[in-house]
């Protein structure tokens, strides 16, 4: 059960109003209570919910704040076929509800709310929910995830939200396009790797590259160039994605001449990068140049004792639901050991 500090009574004033953490009523003055939590988990998704399952079973009495999108990126995924334990597959929202129910069964408090400010260097840790509710915590597990970057096209958003063949994860969704022709946009290592992955499943892969060269490493460029069913469209941009209920074609524009070309495809993959949701922790936690939280190798420990990072906010390599869940387990175990040593 989460603890709250006692309410302190002070001599009265004549009218009621709020002043910082002090509530002044007509005859008495009270300080607003600040809830104290043993183990705070920031963010849901496979990492957060798995951390909650393990933390609650270890009697850490975790409280999990979901963020604005309960369940994270997987709530936008219709079919999940690569998460162990579901031989017939499952939808992303259903998988998240299962993990949430399992966490709650062991006593996790799951709350809707977003952490908007944090002071992780203080003891105990201090965070603010939705800008105005302060809570303190002995240990914090960060599982805020990362968001895929999108092109911002209207049809891209519509077809993505309606499960119409637009994806930001070839490893997750490439299976559904076996034997078909698809397009992928991007020019970095991730785009090259995903294009190569798709080439093993798909009949043809069109790789849309904005410049006349790729940003990918030479090794990855050579891999793309040596794959016969990958066609690179240089100096090209995606002008539109066509299809009423599912992707039917992509309109590609030459950015030097303005010439447009319509290519028949059934899948469209966006590989222009991910942005970790870690902005509120900048200046406190060590991060790489992109914003991924850096952890001690082989653990989830950050540079601040008692603060742990799990899932996609610290993983720029794998970004899979099952690896996120595994790191959530690690985060809970690391938090348990930290608290045991501290007491």
* Residue 21 scores a pLDDT above 80: no
CA distance 143 to 268: 28
Which one of the listed residues 173, 312, 315, 334 is annotated catalytic?
A: 173
281 & 135 share domain: yes
Q: Among this protein's residues, is 172 annotated catalytic? A: yes
Kindly report, residue by residue over 143-163, the tens digit of the pLDDT. Answer: 999 988 899 999 999 998 788
Q: What is the per-residue pLDDT for 68? A: 80
pLDDT band at 74 (very low <50, low <70, confident <90, very high): confident
CA distance 146 to 312: 5
189 & 299 share domain: no
170 & 227 share domain: yes
Last residue of a domain, one of 240, 270, 300: 270
138 & 211 share domain: no
List the domain range (segments joined by +) for residue 303.
36-147+274-342
Q: What is the per-residue pLDDT for 77? A: 67
The separation between the first and the last C-alpha atoms of the chain, rounded to the nearest angstrom, is 18
Which one of the listed residues 39, 130, 138, 169 is annotated catalytic?
A: 169
Question: Mean pLDDT, to the nearest integer, of 84-112?
Answer: 94
CATH number at residue 287: 3.50.50.60
* Residue 8 scores a pLDDT above 50: no
How open is the CA angle 133-137-141, to the nearest 5 degrees?
A: 105
Q: What is the per-residue pLDDT for 342? A: 84
Token code pair at residue 95: 């998988």
In terms of DSSP bridges, do strands 115-119 and 22-24 run parallel, antiparallel, or are they unpaired? unpaired
233 & 245 share domain: yes
Task: Give the residue carrying structure tokens 């609650």.
Answer: 56
pLDDT band at 200 (very low <50, low <70, confident <90, very high): very high
| Number of structural domains found in the chain | 3
Kindly compute the dihedral angle of the four CA atoms of residues 338, 339, 340, 341, in this order, to the nearest 10 degrees. 50
Question: Mean pLDDT, to the nearest integer, of 236-249?
Answer: 96
205 & 289 share domain: no
Closest C-alpha to 143, from 285, 48, 282, 50 = 48
On average, the pLDDT of the chain sits at 89
* Residue 2 scores a pLDDT above 60: no
Beta bridge partners of 136: 36, 126
135 & 156 share domain: no
pLDDT band at 91 (very low <50, low <70, confident <90, very high): confident
Question: Mean pLDDT, to the nearest integer, of 288-294?
Answer: 96
* Residue 16 scores a pLDDT above 70: no
137 & 284 share domain: yes
Lowest mean pLDDT of 23-32, 47-56, 211-220, 286-295, name the range: 23-32
Helical spans, DSSP H, in 67-116: 92-105
Q: Which residues of 2-34 are buried (b: 16+ CB within 10 A; e: fewer)?
A: eeeeeeeeeeeeeeeeeeeeebbeeeebeeeee
pLDDT band at 32 (very low <50, low <70, confident <90, very high): low
Q: What is the per-residue pLDDT for 82? A: 87
210 & 306 share domain: no
93 & 171 share domain: no
Which one of the listed residues 172, 202, 315, 334 is annotated catalytic?
A: 172
Last residue of a domain, one of 270, 292, 323: 270
52 & 196 share domain: no
Percent of the chain with pLDDT over 70: 90
232 & 265 share domain: yes
Whole-model pTM? 0.78
* Residue 193 scores a pLDDT above 70: yes
Closest C-alpha to 115, from 280, 304, 293, 291 = 280
Last residue of a domain, one of 250, 270, 290: 270
């Amino acid at each position: 059960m989460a603890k709250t500090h006692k309410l302190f009574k002070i001599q009265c004033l004549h009218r009621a109003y709020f002043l910082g953490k002090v509530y002044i009523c007509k005859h008495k003055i009270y300080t607003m209570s600040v809830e104290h939590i043993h183990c705070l988990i920031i963010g849901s998704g496979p990492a957060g919910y798995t951390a909650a399952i393990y933390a609650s079973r270890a009697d850490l009495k975790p409280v999990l704040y979901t963020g604005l999108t309960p369940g994270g990126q997987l709530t936008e995924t219709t079919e999940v076929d690569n998460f162990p334990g579901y031989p017939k597959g499952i939808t992303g929202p259903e998988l998240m509800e299962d993990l949430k129910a399992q966490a709650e069964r062991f006593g996790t408090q799951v709350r809707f709310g977003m952490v908007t400010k944090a002071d992780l260097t203080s003891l105990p840790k201090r965070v603010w929910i939705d800008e105005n509710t302060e809570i303190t915590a002995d240990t914090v597990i960060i599982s805020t995830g990362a968001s895929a970057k999108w092109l911002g096209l209207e049809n891209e958003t519509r077809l993505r939200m309606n499960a119409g063949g637009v994806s930001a994860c070839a490893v997750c969704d490439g299976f559904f396009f076996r034997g078909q022709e698809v397009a992928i946009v991007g020019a970095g290592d991730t785009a090259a790797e995903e294009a190569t992955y798709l080439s093993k499943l798909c009949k043809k892969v069109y790789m849309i590259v904005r410049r006349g060269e790729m940003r990918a490493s030479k090794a990855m460029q050579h891999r793309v160039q040596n794959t016969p069913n990958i066609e690179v469209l240089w100096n090209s941009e995606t002008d539109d994605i066509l299809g009423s209920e599912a992707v039917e074609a992509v309109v590609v524009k030459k950015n030097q001449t303005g010439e447009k070309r319509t290519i028949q495809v059934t899948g469209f993959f966006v590989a222009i990068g991910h942005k970790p949701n870690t902005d509120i922790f900048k200046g406190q936690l060590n991060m790489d140049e992109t914003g991924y939280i850096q952890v001690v190798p082989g653990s989830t420990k950050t540079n601040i004792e008692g603060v742990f990072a799990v899932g996609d906010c610290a993983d720029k390599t794998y970004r899979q639901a099952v690896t996120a869940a595994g790191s959530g387990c690690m985060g809970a175990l690391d938090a348990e050991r930290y608290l045991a040593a501290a007491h």
